[in-house]
Amino acid sequence: MKKIEINTLIFTAFAMCAFAANSFFCRAALGAGQIDPASFTAIRLISGAITLWLCLRIQNKGRQQGSWAGAWALFGYAVLFSMAYLYMSTGTGALILFGSVQLSMIAYAATQGDRLKGLRALGAVVAAAGLVLLLWPHLQTPASILAAASMALAGACWGVYSVVGKGSKLPLADTAGNFSKATLLMVLVWVAVYFSAKAGVHIPGVTVERGLALYTVYLPTPTVAGVLFALASGMLASGIGYAVWYKVLPALPTTSAASVQLSVPVIAALAGVVFLDEAVTATLLVAMVMTLGGVYLVLRGKR
């Protein structure tokens, strides 16, 4: 059994806290109306791309790489993730995201011949049931349905991103390249928003005024706090978080690397309770035990 050093444990804990912080920063900014989803996503991707580029330069890990398939998956995840946190608590969103990621990857593995049997099959069913239990209360109003669907799809996008990047020999370089490419896609979205607003398409938070045959498009104005949360998400939680994770990943046994990520939704939920005064419901606790426990059974069965 591979021995894990203290430094590896510390950096692993930091990486998990950084991943959980993405949910916290996003909810803190969007839940309080400090910034709109598009601006948050744009700032997160741009600052994340710059931070990862700097990490590459400092570590001398080569040039940015990545792929457009990975960039599209990352872009879809980032946009849907931000949209969902308009109407969803930190812990609930993190658990739906995690559950969707794991179930989508389990489904993909099944199509590649990795059949689930015994405890692994039971674990997948329990995890799926936990996710349904968590989603059910959010299927009451259009806004909550949109939030739940957005987060579930964000998880599926991240599952695709993980599959695309599986086996990468230069994960940090690929991640940096994917962030840069996703930033370009975000710029195209801003252009699309601008011209859609001019064409009369209703976009929440965007207003258009016409005078002297000219259009003036007013996009949402983020607050300083909203921008800082987005920067923290991009630079700290995404950029530095991924750099640290890929640094310690070779030192972790495969099963441990997968199992330790079960802590992310728990850390995110605790952050929401402590810093945002969010409530921990019985439904969330039961769903968390079912989803994380089910995924754990699947992971243990692969040893």
Domain boundaries, the chain: 6-300
pTM for the predicted model, two decimal places? 0.88
Banded model confidence at residue 264, pLDDT cuts 50, 70, 90? very high
Site of tokens 């993730």 = 81
Structure confidence by residue, pLDDT tens digits, 131-144: 999 988 878 888 88
The reported pLDDT for the residue numbered 302 is 63
Are the CB atoms for 252 and 11 separated by under 8 Å? no
Select, from the ranges 93-102, 209-218, 292-301, the one with the highest average predicted confidence (pLDDT): 93-102
Has residue 152 got a pLDDT over 90?
yes
Residue 1 has pLDDT above 50, yes or no: no
Place of tokens 């109306």: 33
51-100 pLDDT per residue, tens: 999 999 888 767 788 899 999 999 999 999 999 999 999 999 999 999 99
DSSP secondary structure code for residue 115 in this structure:
-
- pLDDT of 82: 94
CA 79/CA 244 separation, integer angstroms: 24
Q: Does an H or E element contain 210, and which?
A: strand 207-211
Per-residue pLDDT at 206: 61
Overall residue count recorded for the chain in this entry: 303
Over 70: is that where the pLDDT of 267 sits? yes
Of 202-206, 245-249, 271-275, 289-293, where does mean pLDDT reach its minimum?
A: 202-206
Say whether pLDDT at 8 is over 90. no
Q: Which residues contact 264 (CB under 8 A, 6 or more apart)?
A: 16, 19, 20, 94, 98
Q: Sign (positive/negative) of CA torsion 21, 219, 146, 140?
A: positive
Q: Which amino acid is at 21?
A: A
